[in-house]
Amino acid sequence: MTMTSKQRAYLKSLANSLDPFFQVGKSSLTPELTAAIGEAFQNNELIKVAVLKNCMDDPREIAQTVADRTHSQVVQVIGKKFVLYKPDRDNPKIQLPR
């Protein structure tokens, strides 16, 4: 599923008020962190993740890797934070504009 710019802008506005759910630290992206983010999608459709200063990896690469592994989509990457979106298959809470 590809998002339109209107849908992406809507998700960005929703994510603006979110605090980061997870932090990627010195050890970068671990299998445990990826699994925890995947589990968080059971309760949330929109997740913000912060990349700490001591992590030497590129936030864009981390965001894309997590999105690939959790079957979600990268909404935005700003500085050291990124937002991921994965709609609930059975009961989506966020209604995207067409």
Q: 32-74: per-residue pLDDT in tens? A: 999 999 999 999 999 999 999 999 999 999 999 999 999 999 9
Q: Does the reported pTM lie above 0.85?
A: yes
HEC letters along the chain:
CCCCHHHHHHHHHHHCCCCCCEEECCCCCCHHHHHHHHHHCCCCCEEEEEECCCCCCCHHHHHHHHHHHHCCEEEEEECCEEEEECCCCCCCCCCCCC
The per-residue pLDDT for 1 is: 64
| Domains of the chain: residue spans and CATH | 5-85 (3.30.110.60)
